[in-house]
Amino acid sequence: MHIQVRNTTNPVDFKNYTTQRIREEFLMEKMFVPDQFHFVYSHYDRMIVGGIKPVGQLHKLPTYDELRSDYFLERRELGILNIGGDGFVMVEDELFTLQKRDCLYVGKGNKTVTFKSLDPEFPAKFILVSTPAHRVVPTAMMKAADANPADMGSPETAN
């Protein structure tokens, strides 16, 4: 379990950053280390971005001292996107199966969120994005198959 805190960048100082310094300030590496949560807590909008690639066991969303809370979603909400193999997320006692490109919104106040891959040979890769929340909103799932996409650009050029 790992969280890195990043402070905001002074625009005047940024003009003097080297490529390496820009990478250190903004690039997220090691997002999907097997069986480990990795997060970056950015002071830009107090956003937390990270990931978990559960290979072996069930993984419970931890809390961190930096959040000053008893549990991760005490004052935050969470968006989850699966970009890997099939997996499941359990929110309190409710189970959600996420296939590739399915997403799940988890509202503030949920104390227990756990993650697991259905097949360790093809593990799920969950991208996690969390922001402060000011009201309780129910957990909701969106299946990729139910999306109404707007085709723009092409996957080959990542545009």
Q: How far apart are alpha carbons 120 and 55 in whole angstroms?
A: 5
pLDDT (average), residues 5-32: 80
- For 71-83, what is each residue's pLDDT tens digit? 999 999 999 999 9
pLDDT (average), residues 12-34: 84
Domains of the chain, each with CATH number or no CATH: 2-146 (2.60.120.10)
DSSP element (H, E) containing 14: helix 11-14
Q: Which residues does 139 contact at the CB level (< 8 Å), separation at least 6?
A: 91, 94, 96, 104, 105, 106, 107, 110
- The model's pTM is 0.86
Confidence class for position 141, pLDDT limits 50, 70, 90:
very high
The structure tokens 């809370």 sit at: 69
